[in-house]
Structure 1
């Protein structure tokens, strides 16, 4: 099961099928399996014989897909590793949605600046964007966020 999540529109995609949210209620839904912090719901989605809840950790920002049956019995969870594809949405808000600490962990300030300039349609230093692109796979491996600018 491949799960993607659109942070902007709160749409979950399961195996290429987009599912609109039934609810955007914010509730405490559990504890993060990565850092033991609180996980709160982002959106609720009806799926097959149950519900998938997209939840986000308050500390490490990991987003999970948590599956429940029709009686709200927990069926499992998995981190959502694909959130959005910046290539398909040249929107500054999408890039701004990535935690700055995460960006600065992998990219230099010059590389980050080049990515922002490219998204805004401004002039940028090609060399810095080239260097950033070489690090996209590392960024995705570390944080599960696919960047393609």
Structure 2
């Protein structure tokens, strides 16, 4: 069985983490908020053969990634389905994070600079970086940038909260 990180949909190695409290999947620093929080039976755990039930559903690169948890051993899985809901692969999630801490400087640094430049002016970008570093920033530029967060999320499926 090929590894989840080798799927063509995910490209080369990607950091995959999950925020259990907010049901947010993070791939390479990009937050993917759930499209659904339905709790459905997904299958049987490959570790202990107990029921695995879904926690959240996330759209990614024309695929659906279902985050599911074993009812017995509590293992959490990322299960990839194609657009026709055919199983592609799965991986055990071993890295977790808190959404509260996800939008710091590391997250901002992980976003492609061309994407930032597409939506934000240089002054707005500078203000966001300064705020993320805890430095002095021009409030007006940060305010303008925050008004564009929704546009940025719609375009790139990345939610900012700086």
Name the TM tier (shorter chain): 0.5 to 0.7
Residue deviations 1:27-68, cap 9 Å, x none?
000111111111000000001021000000000000000000
Cα distance in structure 2, aligned partners of 1:50 and 1:88: 27
Which structure would you say has the larger Rg?
Answer: 2
Cα distance in structure 2, aligned partners of 1:83 and 1:4: 5
The residue aligned with 2:53 is: 40
Runs of 4+ in structure 1 displaced over 3 angstroms? none
| Unmatched 5+ stretches in structure 2 | 1-13, 103-162
Report the Cα offset of residue 88 of structure 1.
4.5
The residue aligned with 2:16 is: 3
Give matches, 1:56-67, under 5 Å.
56-67=69-80
Report the Cα offset of residue 23 of structure 1.
0.2
Q: In the comparison of the two structures, how many residue pairs are matched?
A: 89
The residue aligned with 1:77 is: 90
Cα distance in structure 1, aligned partners of 2:78 and 2:58: 10
Cα distance in structure 2, aligned partners of 1:84 and 1:46: 19
Cα distance in structure 2, aligned partners of 1:11 and 1:88: 12
Which of 30, 35, 38 aligns to 1:22? It is 35
Give matches, 1:48-127, under 5 Å.
48-84=61-97, 88=101
| Unmatched 5+ stretches in structure 1 | 90-149
Cα distance in structure 1, aligned partners of 2:88 and 2:50: 20
The residue aligned with 2:114 is: none
User: TM-score of the superposition, structure 2-length normalised?
Assistant: 0.52
User: TM-score of the superposition, structure 1-length normalised?
Assistant: 0.56
